[in-house]
Each structure stands twice: as C-alpha cells, then as structure tokens.
C-alpha cells in the first residue's frame, strides 16, 4: 500500500494511556511503515464528526480513529457512504466494534492492519438517523453511563469500574417507561425500565445473550427488561452484565428490520455506543442504507459481525 500520510482522529481521553504517550506510540507505529501520522484531536471545541469532516477534506491518505466505541461511532457517522476506508485503533474499555472486526487491541498490531490496506464493507444501524455500531438504549442504561463517568474520573477506566457503575446506578434507579413498540409494523404496549437495541452479534455472544441469528438475517435485536421492583431490576442487570441472563426471565427479545418506540415524554437521554445525547421521540431504529468500509486483518473471516 503506497500511502505516505495518515490523518488520525485522536480522543486523548480514551483508554488508560496518557494522551501524549498514545500520540507518540501511534506516530511511531505508522513510521514503521514509512507513513507520517498527523493528528486531529477531539476536545471540547472539536467533535468526532467535525474532526472527520476535516480529515475528509484531504483528497488522499489514510483516515484512522483512535478511541473507544463512542468516539469510533461519532467518526463513522460521517464516514458512512464515503469512498474511503477507515482505520480503527482501539483505545476504549470494551472495544466491542474493533473486536467484532478482529482488529487487535494492541496498538502496534492495529496500525499494522491499517497499513496492510485490506478493507471490507460493514452495515451499521441508526436511531433517528444517528448511527450506532453496537447498541443504543433508553431508560436505565443512560443513567448507568452518567454514573460510570464519575467513577472513571475518580478511579480510572477499567472493566471493574464499568461493572461497579451498573450496581451503583441501579440501586437508586426507579423509573419505569410506558412504551408502545412497533416491530415491523406490529405494535405492542410494554412497561419496562430499559430497552436495549443491539446491532452487533459479537457483543451479544460476549454477554451470553440470544439474537445472533436475528442479526445474521439482517434484523436488529431489541432487548426489553421486565418491569419489576428495584432489587429485581438489579438482579436482571447483574445477570445481563455477567452473561448469565435467561430469556423470558431476565429479558424479552424482539427482532425486526424496522423498530419504532413511542414514549409519552418528547425528549429523553439516549445512549449510543457509550455516549449520551438528548433525542426527541418517536425513536426509529433501522439499518443504515449505505455501508461503511473498515480496514481489517487480511485473514479476518467474512460473516456476521
């Protein structure tokens, strides 16, 4: 692959590594392939979307993103439908998207994949036209993420801290959502504290959940937690987090190509790949019409992501 320049969209706050160290390591990894890395840093004044538009303004060269699933999701929302492939350097806590594409967690190896130049098309999902790679949720999960950020600031980023945030948030969570959910046009009324849409079969497998066959058909999975008392909700959430959830007991699974969720209140917090934004209902979920191209290992298996 004869490319001499790479533009790296970098979230310096992702991962455990100091931002300066991460930048130096990425620069060195690209230099091993005689590629000069230039950086667009995400901060309070530059969103992942704005950074990606700046990167696309250059007509040639590699575009890569270094960050967690939320950062990668923001970048891909602009990259969808572009005639450019995106390199991914995983820097997050779980890195579900990169792992589902068989992209190594190791920084040097991830850059080796990008320099190798082999890419494949990936279909992502949308909620009200906003993309997500792995999951989108309404209800308890946005509350968990808000708690998680406080725990991360105090104790640092780790999977243990992420699981602790689930327990801490749900101990005090008491909101029940009254929803009308239409799956491929069939409506039903549901009371639940949490709905969780998933577009990544790998994540379902890692969490010990059903639904991989739905995603293989090109559908999306919607997991609905049962409406129960506070400690019942905590028990269901622990089961989901530890991979011991039981269908029809800890969650109900709905599956379809077009999902629409109506809630009485017009605006709610929606979590997409670990990032929270306020969105106005109704909430329409579907697959994005255009694909995204991602650099992957040449030996990566084709199939369900």
What is residue 31's predicted lDDT score, i.e. its pLDDT? 96
What is residue 103's predicted lDDT score, i.e. its pLDDT? 97
What is residue 59's predicted lDDT score, i.e. its pLDDT? 76
Give every CB contact of residue 77 below 8 A, 6+ residues apart in sequence. Answer: 48, 49, 52, 130, 131
Task: Name the CATH topology of 135-272.
Answer: Tumour Suppressor Smad4 (2.60.200)
Domain assignments of the chain as residue spans, ordered by start:
5-124+290-295, 135-272
Instruction: HSE, CB side, 13 Å, CA atoms: give it for residue 28.
Output: 8
H-type alpha helices, 69-137: 69-79, 96-100, 107-116
CA dihedral 80, 86, 89, 90 (to 10 degrees): 20
CATH of domain 5-124+290-295: 3.40.50.10330
Tokens linked to 25: 């390591």
CA distances from 193 to 127, 139, 209 (A): 19, 6, 18
H-type alpha helices, the chain: 19-31, 48-57, 69-79, 96-100, 107-116, 140-155, 159-172, 201-206, 212-216, 230-242
Tokens linked to 148: 């998680």
What is residue 236's predicted lDDT score, i.e. its pLDDT? 60
For 263, the enclosing helix (H) or strand (E) is strand 259-263
> Strand, helix or coil at 123?
coil
- Tell me if 5-124+290-295 shares its fold with 135-272: no
Tell me the average confidence (pLDDT) per consecutive run of 10 residues in the chain, 305 residues long.
Answer: 82 70 94 96 90 90 94 93 94 90 95 96 91 89 69 65 62 75 94 87 85 90 78 60 62 92 87 90 92 92 73
CA distance 186 to 111: 45
What is residue 272's predicted lDDT score, i.e. its pLDDT? 92
CA dihedral 178, 183, 186, 187 (to 10 degrees): 10
CA distance 260 to 183: 7
């Amino acid at each position: 692959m004869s490319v001499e320049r790479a533009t790296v969209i970098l979230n310096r706050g992702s991962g455990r590594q100091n931002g300066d160290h991460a930048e130096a390591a990425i620069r060195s990894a690209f230099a091993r392939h005689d590629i000069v890395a230039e950086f667009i840093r995400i901060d309070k004044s530059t969103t992942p979307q704005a950074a990606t538009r700046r990167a696309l303004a250059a007509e040639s060269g590699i575009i890569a993103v270094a960050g967690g699933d939320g950062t990668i999701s923001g970048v891909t929302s602009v990259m969808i439908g572009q005639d450019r492939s995106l390199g991914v350097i995983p820097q997050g806590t779980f890195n579900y998207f990169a792992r589902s594409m068989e992209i190594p967690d190791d920084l040097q190896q991830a850059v080796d994949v990008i320099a190798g130049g082999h890419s494949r098309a990936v279909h992502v999902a949308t909620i009200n036209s906003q993309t997500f790679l792995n999951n989108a949720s309404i209800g308890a999960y946005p509350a968990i993420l808000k708690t998680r950020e406080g725990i991360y600031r105090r104790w640092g980023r780790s999977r243990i801290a992420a699981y602790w945030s689930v327990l801490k948030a749900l101990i005090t969570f008491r909101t029940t959502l009254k929803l009308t959910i239409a799956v491929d046009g069939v409506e039903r009324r549901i009371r639940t504290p949490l709905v969780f849409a998933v577009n990544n079969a790998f994540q379902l497998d890692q969490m010990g959940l059903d639904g991989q066959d739905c995603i293989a058909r090109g559908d999306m999975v919607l997991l609905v937690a049962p409406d129960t008392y506070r400690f019942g909700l905590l028990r269901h959430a622990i089961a989901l987090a530890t991979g011991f959830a039981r269908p029809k007991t800890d969650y109900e699974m709905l599956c379809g190509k077009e999902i629409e969720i109506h809630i009485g209140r017009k605006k709610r917090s929606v979590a997409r790949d670990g990032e929270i934004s306020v969105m106005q209902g109704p909430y329409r979920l579907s697959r994005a019409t255009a694909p995204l191209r991602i650099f992957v290992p040449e030996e990566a298996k084709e199939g369900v992501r």
